[in-house]
Amino acid sequence: MTTLNQYLIVSALLFAVGLAGALTRRNAILVLVGIELMLNAANLNFIAFWRFGPNPELLRGVMFVVFSIGIAAAEAAVGLALIIAVYRHYKTTDLNRMDTLKG
C-alpha cells in the first residue's frame, strides 16, 4: 500500500524540478513551464491530503484543486500572451536580453 509520505515526496521532487528549471533556464516559455510544474506539485499535495485526511466526504481538497486548475489555465494564457508581446518587441525570448524597462 502507498502511504501519504510517498505522495508528498513525489510532490516535493516535482516542486524541486520545477524550481530548478524556473531558476536556471533562460527561455521565458520554459520558466513558465517550471512554474506550471510547481503549481501541479501543490495540486498533488492538496489531493493527497484530501484523500488521507479526516473528512474526505466534504470534498474540500478536490474543490481547491478544481479552482486552482482554472486559475492556472488563466495564468498560462495571460503569461504566454505577455511572452508573445515581449517577443514582438525584443525579437527574443531570452530573459537575459530583456534588460530594459522602456524600449
Partner 1 sequence: MTISFIIICCIVAVGAIAAMSLRNLVHCALCLTVSLAGLAALYLRLEAQFVGFAQILVYIGAVAILIVFAILLTRSNEPDESAVPRAGSWSGVAGVAVALVVFGTLVLSILSSSVGKTDLPASPGATVKDLGNQLMTHYVVPLEAIALLLTSAMIGAVLIAKPDKLRAGRVVKGGGEHASGT
Greatest Cα pair distance, the chain, in angstroms, is: 57
CB 28 within 8 A of CB 15: no
| Minimum CB distance to partner 1, residue 101 (Å) | 17
Residues near 83 by beta carbon (within 8 Å), at least 6 away in sequence: 28, 29, 32, 93
Interface with partner 1, residue 35, by CB under 8 A: no
Secondary structure letter of residue 3 according to DSSP: -
Query: How far, in Å, are 21, 53, 68, 82 from residue 26 at the CA level?
Result: 9, 39, 26, 16
| Minimum CB distance to partner 1, residue 14 (Å) | 6
| Minimum CB distance to partner 1, residue 11 (Å) | 8
Rule CB under 8 A: choose which of 83, 99, 101, 102 binds partner 1: 83
Interface with partner 1, residue 62, by CB under 8 A: yes
Rule CB under 8 A: choose which of 3, 100, 101, 102 binds partner 1: 3
Interface with partner 1, residue 65, by CB under 8 A: yes
